[in-house]
Amino acid sequence: MSFIGGPVISGLISAYREHLKATTTDKQTAANLAGQEIAAQTAETQAITSLKIAQIGHPWEPEKIAMYITLFFYGKVMIWDKCFGLGTTDEVTGASAVWAGLIMSFYFAKRGAENVTTIIGALRK
């Protein structure tokens, strides 16, 4: 090989041969443990994500859709109508006003109660 690439190529080849010889069971064990650690971290991340989804729920649940509609309405009234002065929205009266208030109250009270019970449950452990 020295006639093709000189001492540089032969040095690289000998270094690679030494690297192949240096592979011991300790290094193989370390590599296996590193692979298992990565797999464990991946599984833990997936479990945490699943827990968050279970706690928060799906974004298209009926209660959240109702909240989105109510939030859109109040956002339109407060930002578009009042802040920018670009329109007027009729006042919500009657049953619609009651339902809008109930939806918002339910949503915030529900999440607040869930958070408080989670905290109390964590303190009891």
Task: Tell whether the model's pLDDT for residue 1 goes beyond 60.
Answer: no
Quick: pLDDT tens for 28-84: 666 667 777 877 888 888 888 888 777 777 778 777 887 888 889 888 988 988 899
Are the beta carbons of 104 and 75 closer than 8 angstroms?
no
86-101 pLDDT, tens digit each: 888 888 888 988 888 8
What is the pTM (predicted TM-score) of this model? 0.42
Instruction: Name the band, by pLDDT with cuts 50, 70 and 90, for residue 2.
Output: very low
Question: Distance between CA atoms of 65 and 82, rounded to whole angstroms?
Answer: 24
Contacts 24+ apart (CB under 8 A), 105-112: 106/63, 107/63, 107/64, 107/66, 107/67, 110/63
For residue 83 the two structure tokens come to 């802040």
